[in-house]
């Protein structure tokens, strides 16, 4: 479909997916003369009533992306993966460490219209060096704690990449030190899992309630799922403790068979995120809607998929701004369609190249930020 009409004075019927509501409602999206988006005349959808072509939800959040543009080689500009693709808030996952955080705050965040939060890498320099925790001299816990305290509005957690190529001979130490910093600061830890060592079981056993495991559906040797989709014993213990699962698709960390089996066995991720960066933005990741479409194909409901990019990551990042206020006025929102045809240029494969054949395709159409709607280009 052509993009929605969002000029002042326009009115458009929409289907509302509100994770805090009950069931789908329909409403009218109107844009005031001053250009402010408002949701009015909301009512439950009647049986047999046609669903409007356009959906609206709270603004989407990508819990794991790389947007330290101009400083780390793998990063992309925040608006390129944010507002341009329906994503209201992007959480940069460890591109900055304590020694490089100031550049993210002083130069990148002011250059973007997308809201940006950060997981601070336990490696001091972040991802300017891709073996960022392979040496003990790269980690400074007191300086990391001080950096978090200097920017509590931006830094919402600590990131540790805990897999063999990254930690080298350091084993579990980066994770243990990252956990120490996170617990000192009272914030969650996001842990990347991948190839051993360390063993994923040992990684998972160190995580507490509220911590996040990203790349939860990777298919590398030792992945924490049985062929029937049941979690490994350590993963089950982690889930039972309240550890959250995050998709973090990435260039090498999403296996459609693993994800599909887990969903079929009744385990769904808390959050759906991209791990988008220069090496996957032109495929297989493309954008957040593409990863959401893949999870829909795995069997998650539309409501669950939307919750995994709205309420769940907002809770993890402690984002408290409601999406709508008095008189239906919107603060933040994402407008999207669910169509029968793939958008031009989008191909669906997992990180290993396995083809995926969705029957429905989510496409972001516009983002509302600070009350103002903006069509996706």
**Residue ranges in the chain assigned as alpha helix (H):** 78-81, 101-103, 141-150, 164-167, 173-185, 200-204, 233-241, 256-264, 288-297, 302-307, 311-317
Size of the site for Zn ion (CB under 5 A): 2
Smaller CB distance to Zn ion: residue 159 or 332? 159
Q: Which stretch binds Zn ion (CB under 5 A): 44-52, 175-183, 275-283, 366-374?
A: 275-283
29/213 with CB nearer Zn ion: 213
Shortest distance in whole angstroms from residue 41 CB to Zn ion: 42
Query: By C-beta, is 94 or 371 nearer to Zn ion?
Result: 94
Q: Which is nearer to Zn ion, 93 or 120 (by Cβ)?
A: 93
Q: Among residues 211 and 275, whose Cβ is nearest to Zn ion?
A: 275
Site for Zn ion in 82-111 (CB under 5 A): 93
- Closest residue by Cα to residue 215 from 285, 139, 307, 265: 285
Q: How far is CA 265 from CA 88, 95, 154, 246, 302, in A?
A: 31, 34, 36, 17, 18
Smallest separation (angstroms) from Zn ion to the CB of 82:
16
Q: Which of 92, 211, 255, 275 binds Zn ion (CB under 5 A)?
A: 275
CA distance 203 to 196: 10
**Smallest distance, Zn ion to C-beta of residue 282, A:** 17
Q: How far is the CB of 66 from Zn ion (least distance, A)?
A: 6
**Counting contacts by CB under 5 A, is residue 246 touching Zn ion?**
no
Nearer to Zn ion by Cβ, of 38 and 275: the residue is 275
* CA 193/CA 245 separation, integer angstroms: 11
Minimum CB–partner distance for residue 312 and Zn ion (Å): 18
d(CA 290, CA 363): 8
Shortest spacing between CB 95 and Zn ion, in angstroms: 8
Report in angstroms the alpha-carbon separations of 135 from 130, 163, 260: 12, 14, 37
The SS3 of residue 336 is strand
Return the residue nearest Zn ion (CB atom).
Answer: 275
Rounded Cα distance between 94 and 116, Å, is 13
Contact set with Zn ion (CB under 5 A): 93, 275
């Amino acid at each position: 479909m052509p993009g929605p009409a969002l000029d002042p004075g326009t009115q458009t019927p929409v289907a509302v997916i509100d994770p805090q509501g009950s069931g789908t409602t329909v409403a009218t999206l109107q844009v005031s003369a001053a250009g402010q988006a408002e949701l009015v005349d909301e009512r439950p959808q009647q049986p047999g009533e046609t669903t409007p072509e356009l959906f609206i939800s709270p603004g989407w959040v990508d819990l794991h992306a790389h947007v330290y543009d101009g400083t780390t080689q793998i990063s992309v500009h925040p608006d390129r993966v944010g507002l341009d693709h329906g994503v209201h808030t992007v959480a940069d996952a460890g591109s900055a460490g304590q020694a490089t955080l100031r550049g993210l705050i002083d130069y990148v965040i002011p250059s973007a219209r997308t809201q940006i939060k950060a997981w601070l890498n336990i490696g001091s320099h972040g991802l300017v060096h891709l073996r960022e925790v392979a040496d003990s001299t790269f980690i400074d816990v007191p300086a990391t704690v001080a950096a978090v305290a200097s920017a509590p509005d931006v830094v919402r957690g600590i990131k540790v990449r805990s897999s063999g190529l990254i930690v080298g001979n350091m084993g579990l130490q980066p994770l243990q030190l990252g956990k120490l910093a996170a617990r000192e600061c009272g914030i969650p830890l996001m842990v990347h899992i991948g190839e051993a060592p360390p063993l994923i079981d040992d990684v998972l056993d160190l995580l507490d309630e509220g911590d996040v495991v990203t790349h939860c559906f990777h298919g590398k040797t030792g992945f924490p799922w049985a062929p029937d989709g049941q979690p490994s014993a350590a993963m089950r213990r982690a889930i039972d403790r309240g550890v959250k699962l995050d998709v973090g698709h990435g260039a090498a960390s999403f296996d459609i068979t693993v994800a599909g089996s887990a969903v079929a066995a009744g385990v769904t991720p808390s959050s759906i995120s991209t791990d988008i960066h220069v090496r996957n933005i032109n495929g297989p990741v493309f954008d957040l809607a593409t990863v959401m479409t893949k999870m829909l194909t795995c069997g998650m409901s539309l409501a669950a998929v939307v919750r995994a990019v709205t309420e769940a990551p907002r809770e993890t990042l402690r984002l408290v701004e409601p999406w709508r206020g008095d008189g239906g006025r919107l603060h933040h929102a994402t407008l999207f369609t669910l169509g029968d045809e793939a958008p031009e240029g989008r191909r669906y494969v997992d990180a290993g190249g396995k083809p995926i054949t969705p029957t429905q395709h989510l496409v972001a159409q516009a983002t509302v930020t600070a009350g103002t709607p903006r069509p996706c280009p």
